[in-house]
Amino acid sequence: MNGKKTWVLIIVIIGIIFLAIAFGAGYYLIFRKPITIKENSILEVVLGGSLRELPSHNPLTQIFKSDTLNVWELEKLFQYAAKDNRVSGVYLEIHPLLLHWAQIEELREYIKSFRESGKPVHALLAVDLVRDPELYVASAADSITLNPDAVFLVNGLMAEIVFLKGTMDKLNIKPQFIQFKEYKAAEIYTRTKMSPQIREMYESILRDIEDRFVSTVALDRNIEEETLRRVMKVGVAPTSRALEEKLVDALGHKSDVLQALMGSDDEEDQRILGASHYLETVEDKYKIRSRHKVALLGAFGVITSGHSDPFSETMGGTTMVSHLRKIRKNKNIKGVIFRVDSPGGTTVGSDMVWKEVQLLEDANKPVVVSMSGVAGSGGYIISMGARHIVSQPSTITGSIGVIFGKFDLEGFYRWLGMSVDRVKLSPNADIFSPFTSLTDEQRTSVESLLETIYANFVGKVAEARGLDYGELEGKARGRIYTGVQAKEIGLVDQLGGLREAIAQMKQALELEEDEEIELVLYPRPKSLWETLTSGDFFGSRQPPSLQKWLMRELRSLSQPAPWLLMPEVRIY
């Protein structure tokens, strides 16, 4: 049996297994008994790992999803529970988090808003190491209980960059990068440590986020900021120190928190409601229905000019254009809330989406952008044409700049025992060859091209945001900002999350304060049958051979292009 037939057989077997599980799960979902919500019920919300922004469009993931909800579902969950007189409080169990700081701020908004209903939220830090992110979420609750055997590791923020220049040198690979400007750097390939400009930029971002973390937690815990900073300087501390400094209220376990919430420590008590099951049960009762329908469209991942690929987390310009055009032509949709979480990507893909946002505005369909964790470079381009831009205080945005890069792999091939020969008819036919370095003349040509792209980028932002070109250019230069910093220089309009975006949309539609808008998820999630017939059910493709995979990755590595892509920011 050849390799192709083997892979076909494997895919068929996997397909049969998936179908059996899917139909079994479907049978369970159809015939399971709906939950009965008793008086004085407690909503159990478990947070851990990462969170999706919006529901998946593939029903297969809906069938097998855990009790962890996405950000939009959590917004609805807390909103519905606040209205539901049968729910008397929330038990919030926090596990190690892998969230953007902006997502944490969004969750804090939901918790705080729920508490305004007069119902309590009691948090349990179910972690071995309590870090800054877990404490930041928990401090929004009425009380915090910490496992007695945990370790308190609230020690401040840090940004780390791994530099690959030494690796490039060992592999005889020559990075060929041109940046616009000093903050739009591919330093990981060309340096062994941060440049002074990049270091200053990261220090500014870290200081802004850490100061907000300290002031917010201190306010929530009713302690002095210096108390928290003192603990952070110590770094690793026992739980007794956290209790002594009033950073937590008690040392205990889940049973202790449940006892405080409902007078019972029975974890099987039927008054405890799982988050996803509760949301599913009350959705029809509390869902907002209105003649003012607004699309909720997500823009997530690295931007390309082609089609979106949810499996590799890329956002295709062609796909996004299709969604935006359908919204523009749908007479029932009055506007768009554009949820953006993207570090940018190609110039063409970003420009395609920006143009469609403009066309929506021209069609009198307002677009309000809600920035999540990251909306920089191309992610800012697709946002800047909107009527209003909302970001969280710790959203990472800006990065108004452009970078060109390719790698000269000739030395690497020679190291592998391979050689490259060529025939060319024009002097610059090899300008983008992965086996040559740029000549002085070629570098000058590329720099001229990038200067034009950069000037157009700054000019579009200045026009969209009503800013002076010269003043904006001095603050652009590829620099990234937090949401607070971006608001100060005019790159965003308002601080907040989805709820603030909804409020701004109501103003854009000139609705009365008591009028509601109904969010319609775009694109519409596919049914199970649609997914099966479209071939998206398995999401599987024939894996390439090792040789094909290696050649594809080398082509990707060496593909030259002007990129509107911001550097990866890892904040710990």
| Distance of alpha carbon 117 from alpha carbon 79, whole angstroms | 10
- 457 φ, ψ (degrees, to nearest 5): -60, -55
pLDDT score, position 556: 47
Q: pTM higher than 0.85, yes or no? A: yes
CA distances from 326 to 62, 145, 246, 363, 522 (A): 25, 49, 53, 13, 9
The single residue listed with the structure tokens 């915090």 is: 144
Q: Is the pLDDT reported for residue 354 higher than 90?
A: yes
pLDDT score, position 479: 96
Give, as one character, the DSSP assignment of residue 192. S
Q: Do the first three CATH levels of 35-155+235-286 and 297-328+339-362+370-509+520-565 match, i.e. the same topology?
A: yes
Q: Give the distance from CA 200 to its chain's centroid.
A: 25
| Distance of alpha carbon 385 from alpha carbon 360, whole angstroms | 10
498-508 and 101-115 are packed helices; what angle lies between their axes, rounded to 10 degrees?
80
CB-count exposure of residue 33 (10 Å: 0-12, 13-18, 19+): exposed
pLDDT score, position 185: 80
Q: What is the pLDDT of residues 160-200, one digit of tens each?
A: 898 999 999 999 999 999 988 999 888 999 999 999 999 99
> Mean pLDDT over residues 523-534, rounded?
61
pLDDT score, position 1: 52
Rank 6-10, 467-471, 510-514 by mean pLDDT and report only the highest. Answer: 467-471
Contact 296, 520 (CB under 8 A): yes
Token reading at 86: 């049968």
Residue 146: HSE in the Cβ half-sphere, 13 Å Cα cutoff: 27
Confidence of residue 59 (pLDDT cuts 50, 70, 90): low
Confidence of residue 67 (pLDDT cuts 50, 70, 90): low
Contact 96, 151 (CB under 8 A): no
pLDDT score, position 47: 97
Q: What is the pLDDT of residues 115-124, one digit of tens each?
A: 999 999 999 9
pLDDT score, position 186: 85
Domain ranges of the chain: 35-155+235-286, 297-328+339-362+370-509+520-565
pLDDT score, position 529: 52
Of 541, 526, 543, which is closest to residue 60 (Cα–Cα)? 526
Q: Give the list of residues 6+ apart from residue 224 with CB closer than 8 angstroms, or none.
A: 218
| Distance of alpha carbon 557 from alpha carbon 189, whole angstroms | 12
pLDDT score, position 217: 98
Q: Is the pLDDT reported for residue 537 higher than 50?
A: no
Q: Is the pLDDT reported for residue 221 higher than 60?
A: yes
CA distances from 206 to 17, 383, 427, 438, 568 (A): 48, 24, 47, 37, 14
Query: Which of 27-31, 136-140, 517-521 is predicted with the least confidence, judged by mean pLDDT?
Result: 27-31
Average pLDDT taken over every residue of the chain? 88
pLDDT score, position 35: 77
CATH 3.90.226.10 fits 35-155+235-286, yes or no: yes
pLDDT score, position 513: 83
Token reading at 146: 């910490």
pLDDT score, position 15: 61
Residue 202: HSE in the Cβ half-sphere, 13 Å Cα cutoff: 20
Q: What is the pLDDT of residues 460-493, one digit of tens each?
A: 999 999 999 999 999 999 999 999 999 999 999 9
Contact 412, 488 (CB under 8 A): no
Neighbours of 310 (CB within 10 A): 16
Query: Which of 9-13, 111-115, 251-255, 313-317 is predicted with the least confidence, judged by mean pLDDT?
Result: 9-13
Angle at 294 between CA 290 and CA 300, to 5 degrees: 140
Token reading at 299: 């823009």
| Distance of alpha carbon 134 from alpha carbon 131, whole angstroms | 6
Share of the chain above pLDDT 90, in %: 74
pLDDT score, position 245: 97
Q: What is the pLDDT of residues 160-169, one digit of tens each?
A: 898 999 999 9
Confidence of residue 23 (pLDDT cuts 50, 70, 90): low
pLDDT score, position 266: 75
Q: Is the pLDDT reported for residue 538 higher than 70?
A: no
Q: Give the distance from CA 184 to its chain's centroid.
A: 21
CB-count exposure of residue 495 (10 Å: 0-12, 13-18, 19+): middle
Query: What is the domain class of 297-328+339-362+370-509+520-565 according to CATH?
Result: alpha beta
Q: Is the pLDDT reported for residue 550 higher than 50?
A: no
Q: What is the pLDDT of residues 410-431, one digit of tens each?
A: 999 999 999 999 999 999 999 9
| Distance of alpha carbon 398 from alpha carbon 479, whole angstroms | 6
Q: What is the pLDDT of residues 300-351, one digit of tens each?
A: 999 999 898 776 678 999 999 999 999 999 999 999 999 999 999 989 999 9
Contact 238, 151 (CB under 8 A): yes
pLDDT score, position 527: 57
> Mean pLDDT over residues 436-455, rounded?
94
Beta bridge partners of 549: none
Q: Is the pLDDT reported for residue 562 higher than 80?
A: no
pLDDT score, position 530: 53
| Distance of alpha carbon 314 from alpha carbon 300, whole angstroms | 7
